[in-house]
Chain A
């Protein structure tokens, strides 16, 4: 029951289970380049390319090889830690992906952390249902969920960057170069990204807590004269956590895979923005690498959520 051994086992089984998913998705990514009409090189070079140019590119990148051969070659290179060069900037794909992932991860984790305010808010309103705060937050969260992200980004950047001039509308500084400037640039994307998450997390948490409050053991706690805040913290929060954790896991995968709208609007050099440009310019090695990374993120996050369930609920065992 205690110790790290069951966790080690759970982690290894889930990683093993993730391998087929990884192979399937990366194979699909390789196949994507063959699905498009014409050859990959034709797409990359455009309509004005000569047949010689196309053939040269095809053989240089191996696009003339059969699909399975190309995929095996890619896998072999992956095992050696080499995902090739990006087609246009000719940088190592791995370096580019890690750089961009760091940016997206920073924004995603900050947005996740910010959205956690939904939980105490839910605790308060669930224990005071029908109150002013409850009604207000219910309307506010409905509104936030109803407004699409692309409207939120425009609205917030208009208010904070143009009218108030508190925050920059676009731009980027690396955290390692200038932490203060980094936080300054990251603020608006993080807020925009977290608004939906906060509203969603709040609603799920509130509803789950309302359900838990109906449980017999809460009635018992109330009959024993325990204070409402104690009951919420000790008897309601933890039973609500599996549900909350599920939502957090889904949100996190969604944000870690890169938010296209937020990143492209604020010109944040993260995964979402990169994959958009890569797809547009048919930078196949880069698209493949990002898709692979996304699979890995999903497998890891879902594994963490599963382990979280086991930590939260004493009845669940990890393995």
Chain B
């Protein structure tokens, strides 16, 4: 496969839940690409459609959900494949780590086997070799005594350990893309950081691409090259992470960023919050989904969905009728959010 071909490209993707009285749009006009060896952060609050996006890509959306548009994985059109071939192809190319390590592992199956089973199925790896690979991966993700742990059951491990095991399982087929769907949300804060660092190290060492899905901007900051902000099933802002953090153009992104506490804030100041609730699927606003909560919303915001615009940096795009002004020149200040800066 050619190196400049993106590992994943979603084109005009949408998801609908067939329901009565009318179908519900969970995701609309989703367009993004994940280049090789890069990391994309997908951010949004609950109900924004993050999980549905991941499930649609993985082909495990519920039967009531219709996925439209085009998803290209490693240059192959997923919807052009037969379902069984598609599932196998995705299983080989993509590793996934889900939100809840407590329920992601089958309590009835030894963890080693759960790690090894995918490569046994997809590549007919002999039993002993699969076992060796799984033990090697357990070591990689930082499990002590991997040989013994292979035969242990999930209930012998703590939540953080289970998530490490899930990461090991996601790596067994040498995937090109690793998706972490809220992979650290269920873990406590210190373990969160360890697991995130582990994910990042693995992504860099194995030259994989990664999608980091989170409701927490702090999780994707410094760990991703690009960021995609979802709101009400729409991409509202999409661009290089450092650029979006420094120079948010969509008002939702800006509101999210200013809701984050900063080190230089005086103690005991109130954090800014966003008034109101995210739109419900059943009655989405006709125009911009953020309009009801937006301080700058005017006439067209309530009636017309804004088109994607491009900022000064051509990779930075946002969907807002009245975007924030560009305040900082592109890539002049070396922000703390820059991946390169962090790596130094």
Contact residues of B with A, CB < 8 Å?
Answer: 58-60, 84, 87-92, 94, 96, 98, 100, 103-109, 117-118, 121-122, 153, 155, 166, 169-170
Contact = CB atoms under 8 A, between A and B. Distances in A.
A58 to B, nearest CB: 60
Contacts of B89: 225
Given A235-B109, A238-B108, A315-B107, A222 B87 contact: yes
A280 interface: no
Given A225-B118, A225-B122, A219 B106 contact: no
B90 A223 contact: yes
Chain A interface mostly helix, strand, loop or mixed? helix
A216 B58 CA distance: 14
Report which residue of B92, B108, B155 has the largest number of chain A beta carbons within 10 angstroms of its beta carbon. B108
Nearest to A214: B62
Given A216-B98, A315-B153, A226 B104 contact: no
Contacts of B87: 222, 225
10 contacts: A216-B103, A217-B106, A220-B98, A220-B104, A222-B60, A224-B91, A225-B91, A235-B108, A239-B108, A314-B155
Across the A-B interface, give the 10 residue pairs with the lowest CB-CB distance, nearest first. A225-B91, A216-B103, A217-B106, A314-B153, A238-B108, A223-B58, A225-B87, A225-B88, A224-B118, A224-B91
B109 A226 contact: no
A155 to B, nearest CB: 38
Interface residues of A, number: 21
Nearest to A130: B63
A217 B121 contact: no
A49 interface: no
A216 B100 contact: yes
A234 B108 CA distance: 9
A230 interface: yes
A69 interface: no
B103 A217 contact: yes
A225 B123 CA distance: 12
Contacts of A222: 59-60, 87
Contacts, number: 73
Nearest to A129: B63
Given A217-B106, A315-B155, A225 B98 contact: no
A80 interface: no
A194 B58 CA distance: 43
Contacts of A226: 91, 117-118, 121
Contacts of A219: 60, 98
A217 B4 CA distance: 34
Interface string A270-281: 000000000000
Interface in A217-250: 217, 219-227, 230, 234-235, 238-239
Contacts of A312: 108
Contacts of A220: 96, 98, 104-105, 166, 169
Contacts of B105: 217, 220
B159 to A, nearest CB: 14
Nearest to A235: B106
Given A216-B103, A225-B92, 14 more contacts: A217-B103, A217-B105, A220-B166, A222-B60, A223-B60, A223-B96, A225-B91, A225-B122, A226-B91, A230-B117, A234-B117, A235-B108, A313-B107, A315-B155
Nearest to B119: A224
A234 B109 contact: yes
A215 interface: yes
Contacts of B108: 235, 238-239, 312-314
A309 B153 CA distance: 16
A315 B106 CA distance: 12
Contacts of A221: 106
Contacts of A215: 103, 106
Nearest to A237: B108
B91 A217 contact: no
Contacts of A216: 98, 100, 103-104
A224 B107 contact: no
Nearest to B86: A225
Nearest to B85: A225
Contacts of A313: 107-108
A119 to B, nearest CB: 16
Nearest to B172: A224
Contacts of A235: 106, 108-109
B77 to A, nearest CB: 17
A234 B105 CA distance: 12
A313 B60 CA distance: 27
Contacts of B100: 216
Contacts of B92: 225
B167 to A, nearest CB: 12
A77 B92 CA distance: 70
Contacts of A223: 58-60, 90-91, 94, 96
B106 to A, nearest CB: 4
Nearest to A314: B153
Contacts of B96: 220, 223-224
A114 B124 CA distance: 35
A245 to B, nearest CB: 13
Interface string A87-114: 0000000000000000000000000000
B60 A314 contact: no
